[in-house]
Amino acid sequence: MVDPIQCDSDLELSDLLHRLLVVEGHKEVEIMHPVEGTQVVTKETYEAMIENIIRARNMSPAQRILETKRIKSKMKIRFRTALIVAETRTVDIEDEGNFGLDVDGKEIDMAGRTFVHTNDYPKGTDIFPNEIGCFMDESMARPPERILAK
């Protein structure tokens, strides 16, 4: 196992991943991302990332626009699907003293998550009565948590 190393830029991280996975032959590397949390990168996932970067670099501007639209559409579908089975939490929005806790006193995992208001849900999403939004992980690594007002 490699001792923790801090990277200050994506370029530095890329160089480090290449060294650890390709040159030194480690099977996997654990990354502690400040926003996205813990991620495990294998040599296969690293090579897939590099292939995607090369493919994007070789695209024309029109192809990039189409690919961006395709990816956004795919993420909206994933988000809508995840909302169907998402856990719901009820909060008392008037009680500022218990911010971050649901009405049962359980902590809501907000770290590294973005709050999405129901107005910003993709079209066609069923909204629960009293739902105000959800906390979601932009990478969709963790399922969203729907928030209902008391």
Are 76 and 119 within 8 A, CB to CB? no
**Which residue(s) pair with 1 in the sheet?**
none
> Would the pLDDT of 10 be above 90?
no
Residue 135 near residue 147 (C-beta atoms within 8 A): yes
Pairing of strands 145-149, 131-136: antiparallel
Average pLDDT (80-106) is 86
Would the pTM count as exceeding 0.85? no
- What does the alpha-carbon distance between residue 96 and residue 89 come to, in Å, rounded to a whole number? 16
Coil vs helix vs strand at 3: coil
Tokens representing 99? 């911010």
Could you report the per-residue pLDDT of 26-72, keeping only the tens digit for each? 888 888 877 666 788 899 999 999 999 899 999 999 999 999 999 99
